[in-house]
A = this chain, B = another copy of it.
């Protein structure tokens, strides 16, 4: 299929890798022409690492790179395109204009998807004539390493658009979460926010340290979540499944609920404690190096999950 990346910064270039890896042609465009060579340079450095981890499906990096085509004009990027992925700045007035332009220039059959993490689609597609083909496909960056993608319709998105976008994403090796309607924070930021809110509160209230919370996830809760998710986890955690779990253990969570109604300002006094503890674990000038470590660990984890799904079962 033919795809276009509109906005080729941090998020757009990552999508380009995912689409091209799946065999799609990828036209890259950016309002800033200097962004395109930077994107191609970046992609050229990432592909050999993916190949080394077995995450290019046996393809040569050069073969994937050859599917990328920088374009000077937006109309050129959109010619005969099937899927457009928009990654422009997170400002509603920018997205409104961009979606007007995309709808005017892209062939009628193309799906127009935004990568926005912060804006509900209704806020920027309402007045677009082709709003039925517009929706959000929000990745966790980088999508070529993290499969989950939120597929979020606006009130006017056609069900067929949702189905086509989800199928396209599955074909790229992504794992779409197909939302039934839009909601602030989509799904993953709502779940992450609920957990982070409690994590900040535990530190602010002097119950636990930052590292203790991290241990609780990385050596505890997140192990099972990383291959089952929270619902399957509790479904397997009581003899009679999820209904039995809720009957047995809801009381524990009900008792906690009243004490989680108070917001903690993450940027307030608690941040001094959080940052001091993190800086003790990781000097601030080592953040870049640690990000590269994270990406290598993430690649190795994905390779492990594939092997385990084959050897032990999905």
Contact = CB atoms under 8 A, between A and B. Distances in A.
Interface of A: 117-118, 140, 146-148, 150, 175-181, 183-185, 187-199, 202, 205-232, 234-236, 239-243, 246-247, 250, 252-257, 259-261, 263, 265-267, 271, 274-275, 278-279, 281-282, 284, 287, 290-291, 293-294, 296-298, 300-302, 304, 308, 311-313
Given A118-B252, A228-B294, A250-B267, A179 B207 contact: yes
B284 A230 contact: no
Nearest to A228: B218
B187 A298 contact: no
A223 B190 contact: no
A213 B226 contact: no
Contacts of A242: 271, 274-275, 278
Contacts of A301: 223, 226-227, 304, 308
Contacts of A313: 293, 297
A239 B225 CA distance: 27
A155 to B, nearest CB: 13
A294 B224 contact: yes
Contact of A208 (B179, B197, B215): B179
A256 B183 CA distance: 9
Given A195-B230, A219-B146, A223-B301, A187 B213 contact: yes
B218 A231 contact: no
A213 B227 contact: no
Contacts of A117: 252
A267 B282 contact: no
A123 to B, nearest CB: 13
Contacts of A226: 217-218, 222-223, 225-226, 301
B214 A187 contact: no
A216 to B, nearest CB: 5
B207 A183 contact: yes
Contact of A202 (B187, B271, B278): B187
5 contacts: A177-B212, A179-B208, A196-B253, A223-B226, A242-B271
Given A218-B225, A218-B229, A300-B312, 13 more contacts: A175-B220, A184-B256, A191-B195, A191-B202, A191-B213, A193-B252, A218-B227, A222-B225, A222-B226, A222-B229, A223-B226, A241-B284, A304-B304
A218 B223 CA distance: 9
A266 B249 CA distance: 10
Nearest to A183: B207
B312 A212 contact: no
A159 to B, nearest CB: 15
Given A208-B179, A282-B235, A294-B224, A217 B193 contact: no
